[in-house]
Amino acid sequence: MIVTDSEHRISDICAEWRAEGLSVGFVPTMGAFHRGHLSLVEIAVASSDRVVVSIFVNPMQFGPDEDLDRYPRNLEKDCKSVEELGASVVFTPRTDVVYPDGFSTGVYVAGMSEGLCGAARPGHFDGVTTVCAVLFGIVRPDLAVFGMKDAQQLAVIRRMVSDLRMGIDIVAAPIVREFDGLAMSSRNQYLSVEEREQACFISIGLEMALVLFRMGERNCEVLRNAFLSKLEDAPLLKVQYVETVDPDTMLGVEQVEKQVLLAVAVFAGKTRLIDNILIELEV
């Protein structure tokens, strides 16, 4: 496996693969891999002839009071993990490679970037779409894999790729959870013992809403309140938002008619955790 921070080298490698008729899969990440990240790589390896994994902690998607400086980093371990899964190249660009002197372009996806995490973290998705557009331009993949845990990010990236005719197949990977249901996240390591014990109530609350739906409930306010009621048992958790939205547009929905995404953001102490569950009628 090749590890490189050179934009020109990664572009040349991918161009050679394409010239040979090989498909290129891509997994853009910020590193600090857990099993959730590795599941994305597994999907890319199974779906492509060659796979590029990028590791870049993108400063453009962090707010001024967020954890850019302390975001977990473990490049050596990350590279070893993806090599064992069959990745071909790990691309580790420096900030001045991604955003060279004079860089002045941003990518903004209107509407679906503005609610949920977009409202809570102004400018976050502009940073996500801009860095992904840059990385897509360097790698030029046939497909890219993103996790469903960041459902709003997935929808925003799909819209960007469609609107800008990038010709990339965006593949969604299921949420990977801990033994007690907590969605895997690089930030879970920030949790204290007590916070970690209570964090599992997030997924329990989502499952409670799903159970109500399966019993016939279609009113989204009732489903949201079911989630909130469960978190009353976890005093260390503070809800930032709980919303029911269309999974493709991220617009609010008040009645389950086809598919609804119940999406939440919760603080456990100072650590912000996101999760979601897809509620859909059987056809």
Which residues are known catalytic residues?
37
Give the H/E segment covering residue 42: helix 35-47
Q: Read off φ and ψ for residue 165, nearest 5 degrees.
A: 50, 50
- Give Cα separations from 33 to 39, 71, 81, 85, 156 (angstroms): 10, 12, 8, 13, 23
Query: Alpha-carbon distance 237 to 268, whole Å?
Result: 5
Torsion of CA 268, 250, 247, 218, to 10 degrees: 80
Query: Alpha-carbon distance 172 to 249, whole Å?
Result: 15
- Give Cα separations from 87 to 2, 6, 38 (angstroms): 9, 17, 10
Burial grade of 278 (CB within 10 A; 0-12, 13-18, 19 or more): middle
Residue 128, token pair as written in the block: 């996500």
Q: How many Cβ atoms from other residues are within 10 Å of residue 1's Cβ?
A: 15
Query: Alpha-carbon distance 84 to 210, whole Å?
Result: 36
Residue 235, token pair as written in the block: 């005093």
